[in-house]
Structure 1
């Protein structure tokens, strides 16, 4: 019960930025002695501090209480591979330090993990923050996982990566609580906290990753929280079947959306259309094709229209299934994909839904991706405990 009351008081202070004890009592409906005792403990732990005085209304001048954001810190990791991004944030989610590495694709599984560990140790050392001030490590991981157990079941782009007890490995190395979740969910969490604070509780975040093994992920924010399914693998949009007679996908299905609209497959189809064009080798990504389309090339425009159509169909299925009114297109090329899919998406949903659907471009930059994992750690730290009554 004490932990539950502490949770109420602490989150009340966080929500209000600065607040008096009397207002905490009113908002939490706890007794004044209970609130005073909790505030005393939080102050002794340096989590809460006296930040000033409220407006004078007679009698004793009321003291304002605020969260000491720099009392503790969270570590966040965005394990995309080959890029691995890391950040340290304070309790408000403000980035203190961020770094990243790009791992050689020829490295073994153990070498990849060791490279990440060494980079993380360097970042912690450079931050100058004592280990006792870190409250945990959050990891946004690609591939299939059992999030609660901290086990990474499979990462298709790393052939020998199977059933890795990643949580155990990280915890043994750093001695901190470790939390894992799907990488797109972590991107969506950061987007929500930073840029979607005034949006509806229900929205879909479509994260489109570029690169040699591009991914198309989805995170669903439903009734005020993200839904991950039993193991954290819910909403694998990239493996929605678009063409039942399509090419085999490494996941075991056929005609998956990633095969139809993922960057490497799109580039390959486009180069096949070009045939013997000597400039074909210069085409490395969706942006190159888009530049040619803007220059008036018919083949480039046709390929991009196909991409928009496939994405529009896939996302429309999600919108119709959940009755959504907001879709966020995230990733470094979010604005480009927004232009490709917007009309196709609206065309593939019911007319009465089309006018209500708000499609927006995500604002989260790549260097901010690990911040979602920092928020995951902070949320766990302030999480309301389960009470056995």
Structure 2
């Protein structure tokens, strides 16, 4: 019984600490008295925890705040550049690494290409090497790195930190959390890349303030990160959000998953490339032909966007068709999950209105009622860094987030 009570006391202490940290972070700076008012914690509790946070170097005292009479209060702020987080984005053709501060501002980053012959051991050792290199290059003490977040393509067991299946690496059951924590001696969090992006957008991007949102990552593959009531929704086996493998065309092209006509075969990178190559082979006149100069491998979302900006009808048509396919999938998601906001990210999303306008048009045409038709659909607010910041947010969210609504005071 005694150990249970000690454990409960430590839990409440941790919850109150996270509660106070998050209020300091979200307000940008606040006095102890205002923290007590907002949290309903007693002033002595706030003072004690604030002292701990100051001693730990997590917060600093700033300028004095306005006074309503008497001594001016001292403002507490997050000491954002005293500790750091590593974010890792494991994509299709490359692995991106970043070091961020406690406000998810990127301090340093690097990119490593993925070798087709990469083994599990190669993969793990590259991560270890690059994390150590970032820390050394940034000239920060190792104990200032408080965690590592990894956004993985494919299927992930986030609770165990295992990459169950990374199709583009052709690797299975990689115990990333166990291996990296053993080698680097810092906490490691592993999540599907689209879910990491959704978390990053909700904390630092275009999803701030939205309790329910869906972030769709459109690149080589297409995946969705679902946030409901401020919590990531993973599904029973971690498959929630795999909309790239929902059927868009029953008679379509074979997908990497083995099925036919998946959404990513018509609206992902390779689908857009196939559409361009097909029309060019039919003799259609297009600026794309001039831009690739006979090399079909040059066809990419970026090149198609460049052509679209110059008014090329084929490029515009390709994005419009992809947008309609995605718009149909988004409409289905709205009818199933009914989120307040849809965020479109990933490399293909850089096409902006060429892709987003047809998505919005389909939703307006096909959604059930007026409110559903007006679901907010926006581009990622984090752009190219969405996956990296999302990976870092896996650690930051755990550090700052308050997991329970009913907080109890520690007297």
Match of 2:82 in 1: 71
Match of 2:268 in 1: 262
Q: Which residue of 2 aligns with 1:281?
A: 295
Match 1:363 to one of 370, 381, 386: 381
Distance in structure 1 (CA, Å) of the matches to 2:178 and 2:144: 21
SS in structure 2 of the partner of residue 205 of structure 1: strand
Deviation at 1:289, TM superposition (A): 4.6
Match of 2:396 among 378, 385, 388: 378
Superposed displacement of residue 378, structure 1: 1.4
Could you tell me which residue of structure 1 aligns to residue 244 of structure 2? 238
Structure 1 pair 58–81 and aligned structure 2 pair: CA distance change class (3 A): same
The structural deviation recorded for 1:30 is 1.8
TM-score (norm 2): 0.83
Q: Answer yes or no: is 1:10 the counterpart of 2:21.
A: yes
Cα distance in 2 for residues equivalent to 1:68 and 1:292 = 45
Summarize deviations over 1:58-90 as a string: whole Å, max 9, x none: 444432222222232111111114221111122
Residue matched to 1:217: 223
Q: CA deviation at 1:119?
A: 2.0
Question: Is 2:114 aligned against 1:99?
Answer: no
Question: How many Å apart are 1:276 and its aligned residue?
Answer: 7.2
- Give the Cα–Cα distance (whole angstroms) in 1 for the partners of residues 79 and 54 of structure 2: 9
Equivalent residues of 1:137, 1:377 under 8 A apart: yes
What are the within-5 Å matches in structure 2 for residues 111-150 of structure 1?
A: 111-150=122-161
Higher mean displacement: 193-202 or 139-148: 193-202
Instruction: Give the aligned partner of residue 9 of structure 2.
Output: none
Partner-residue secondary structure (3-state), 1:369? helix
The offset of 1:199, in angstroms, is: 5.0
Any stretches of 5+ residues in structure 1 without a counterpart?
A: none
Greater CA drift, 233-242 or 264-273: 264-273
Contact 2:89 2:387 (8 Å CA) reproduced: yes
Contact 2:201/2:386, CA 8 A, preserved across alignment: no
How far does residue 16 in structure 1 lie from its aligned partner after superposition?
Answer: 2.6
Question: CA–CA distance in 2 between the matches of 1:97 and 1:135?
Answer: 16
Q: Which residue of 2 aligns with 1:192?
A: 202
Is 2:19–2:400's contact at 8 Å kept on the other side of the alignment?
no
Please report the TM-score for the alignment, with normalisation by the length of structure 1.
0.87
Return the offset for 1:150: 0.8
Do the aligned partners of residues 128 and 347 (structure 1) sit closer, same or farther apart at CA in structure 2, a change above 3 Å counting?
same
Secondary structure at the aligned position of 1:207 is classed as: strand
Q: Give how far 1:143 is off.
A: 0.7
Match of 2:188 in 1: 178
* C-alpha distance in 1 between matches for 2:147 and 2:310: 50
In the alignment, is the contact (CA less than 8 A) between 2:148 and 2:186 conserved in 1?
yes
Distance of 1:228 and 1:28 partners within structure 2:
30
Shift of 1:373: 1.4
- Does residue 271 in structure 1 map to residue 277 in structure 2? yes
8 Å CA contact 1:147–1:231 kept in 2: the answer is no
Structure 2: tracts of 5 or more residues without a match? 1-11, 284-288
How many residue pairs align between the two structures?
384
User: Is 325-334 or 177-186 further displaced after alignment?
Assistant: 325-334
Q: Please, what is the CA RMSD of the aligned residues? A: 2.9
- Alpha carbons of structure 1 residues 158 and 19: separation in structure 2 relative to 1, 3 Å: closer
2:207–2:213 CA contact under 8 A, matched in 1: no
